[in-house]
A and B are shown apart, each in its own frame.
Chain A
Amino acid sequence: MSNSNLAIIGIGEVPTRIMPERTRWDILYDVCMEAIRDSGLDKNDIEAVINVAPQAQPKLAAELSFGKLPEELGLKGCKDTCVCNAGGASTSNCIRLAEQYIASGIAKAVLIPHVTVHSTIPLEEQINFFAKAGVDMQWEYPFGTTYNILMGMMANRYMHETGAKPEHMASVVTALRSWATKDPNSFFYQKKVPTPQMVMESPLLNTPFHKRESNILGDGGSAMVVVSAQDAGRMNKPVAYKLGESVRYFSGTPVLRDFYKVAEGFSVTAREAMAEAGVTKDDISLWNIYMAYPMNHPIMAEALGVAPIGEGAKYFAEGRMSFGGDIPWSTIGDAPGRGHTGSGVSTAMYVETARQIMGKAGERQVKECRYVFQNTAGGSGFNNIATVWGKEI
């Protein structure tokens, strides 16, 4: 029996591109208006706005924290607004807070928007932000860390444990990009899907990590409208119900994060979320996995029991998680496929979860999509949040 009482009833999104000509507020208008229109509600029915914290954009963060959005959009029924920040896990917390607003009677309908425009942030600020975010300023940063290096270390360990080959690891990019090329909102829409060979031939940034395995920073935004499950049930339209959730905290500092404990955390949270939802892994129609980097996808596939232990990377190499494969997986291609929009990739993952369940995913539509498993994580992976979403309660 689900402890949640929430459904996504409307979604809005703009394509992720490099488009400095679009201001952050321009994008916010578009995604919020589209999500509210899609929900079938009137703008004045929105009683609260919970913003996904924009990373590395302090001016916008301040404007949103201090209540500007409901005013800009003329949301006359809005009773409160705030910003939620847990890095890539921000959206999960926005959704949880929305549940509390709804349960306590503060609001019946809540708008959850996100925007990030990287292209107008000066390059030195971008580099500096991504070098420091989620690493320890005393015990890690002085040694010369980057996110790429942290992920490279994990990947090296995984390859050591499983004997996975570089071409298997490279094939994760191929799988993610095979979805992205079919996604009009992706940076790589209609772009050629690189083969594992092409990935491996791209410059080595840090072992075993190649340039084509890293993320492109993009500009984008998305939004959703959520209401109680009961209210959603009365709307007579396809909606996505939240059915189960579980979470584990690992560590804020990457060096204190044990490889095995993280993998175990992936497993435990999945088991608990599915148990709460009353489903098993065989019921899941889509594994909408958020890792922000390609290299951890095989670890997650094994932790979920989708692939046998030691064979996660091989499954990707066999094309089973690719578009057309038998295991629908990260249908926006995660950050490597969508383009990196700060904390917005996980917002986009929830929007995609709802889109798939609502049956509006076009060419990427997973057949008979009844249950979606989705995870998010914050910072450099301080936690893992597992959720299960469904077509009906």
Chain B
Amino acid sequence: MDIQFDMTRPLPETQPWSKPFWEGTKQGKLLIQHCRDCNANIFYPRKVCPECWSKNMDWIMAGGKAKVYMFSTAYDMVEPKFMADLPYTLAYVNLEEGIRMMTRIVECDPTDIHIDMEVEVVFHKLNDEFYLPYFRPVKK
């Protein structure tokens, strides 16, 4: 069987209002959308505040510290374009700013990863335009 798989690394499909987030990651900053009217920290970024529909929104810089909420380490059966990365660990992490995001946990042995593990952001370059926020264990 001669199957041609799409091996292109997928880039985030952005919206106009999420561009500052990705500009931030390029500069090593993890930005969180913030509503000036109701004070909500918002993830993922929206066109209007999902709490109060305000357009009076801003960005705050996250401290970059988080805890693993849940995770799973992949060893097989991912898309061909991600095969070269195996094994890799995907996780939801809770940031100190009260938001939760999907990420990869890197720079450690996958078998050491556990729920509530303390992690910190590290930016992974996809290309000149996009850096993904990954997390690594906080060194004690």
Contacts and interface: CB of A to CB of B under 8 A. Distances in A.
B69 A157 contact: yes
Interface stretch (B4-12, B29-37, B53-61): B4-12
B90 interface: yes
Contact of A255 (B10, B71, B92): B92
Interface of A: 122-124, 127-128, 131, 136-146, 148-150, 152-157, 160, 203-209, 211, 214, 253-256, 259
Contacts, number: 115
Contact of A205 (B13, B69, B74, B85): B74
A156 B115 CA distance: 9
Contacts of A138: 12-15, 18, 44
B70 A127 contact: no
A142 B132 contact: yes
Nearest to A137: B13
Given A139-B12, A255-B101, A259-B70, A144 B3 contact: no
Contact of B79 (A131, A150, A153): A131
A206 B102 contact: no
Given A127-B80, A131-B79, A144-B82, 15 more contacts: A139-B44, A142-B12, A142-B126, A143-B103, A149-B74, A149-B90, A150-B72, A156-B72, A157-B70, A203-B75, A205-B74, A205-B75, A206-B74, A207-B73, A253-B44
Interface of B: 1, 3-6, 9-15, 18, 44, 69-80, 82, 85, 88, 90-92, 100-104, 110, 115, 126, 130, 132
B83 to A, nearest CB: 10
Nearest to A206: B74
A390 B130 CA distance: 55
A155 B126 CA distance: 30
Contacts of A204: 75-76
Nearest to A141: B10
A255 B100 contact: yes
Contacts of A160: 70, 115
Given A124-B5, A204-B75, A205-B77, A144 B70 contact: no
B79 A146 contact: yes
Nearest to A145: B90
B90 A144 contact: yes
Contacts of B76: 203-206, 211
A214 B77 CA distance: 10
Contacts of B73: 206-207
B72 A207 contact: yes
B72 to A, nearest CB: 3
A166 B120 CA distance: 30
Contact of B102 (A140, A208, A209): A140
A157 B71 CA distance: 8
19 contacts: A124-B6, A127-B5, A127-B80, A137-B12, A138-B44, A139-B44, A142-B130, A143-B104, A144-B74, A146-B77, A148-B77, A149-B72, A149-B78, A152-B74, A154-B70, A156-B70, A157-B70, A205-B75, A205-B77
A96 to B, nearest CB: 27
B108 to A, nearest CB: 14
A29 B15 CA distance: 44
Given A138-B44, A255-B100, A206 B72 contact: yes
Nearest to B44: A139
Nearest to A253: B44
B90 A143 contact: yes
A144 B79 contact: yes
A104 B5 CA distance: 49
B70 A123 contact: no
A150 B92 CA distance: 10
A146 B75 CA distance: 12
A123 B77 CA distance: 13
Given A143-B90, A148-B77, A255-B102, A209 B72 contact: yes
A142 B69 contact: no
B88 A144 contact: yes
A254 B6 CA distance: 24
B92 A153 contact: yes
Contacts of B78: 131, 144, 146, 149
A157 B92 CA distance: 11
B6 A153 contact: no
Given A138-B14, A143-B103, A157-B70, A124 B90 contact: no
B18 to A, nearest CB: 7
Contact of A139 (B79, B101, B126): B101
B101 to A, nearest CB: 6
Contacts of A208: 72
A153 B103 CA distance: 12
A256 to B, nearest CB: 7
Contact of B74 (A123, A146, A259): A146
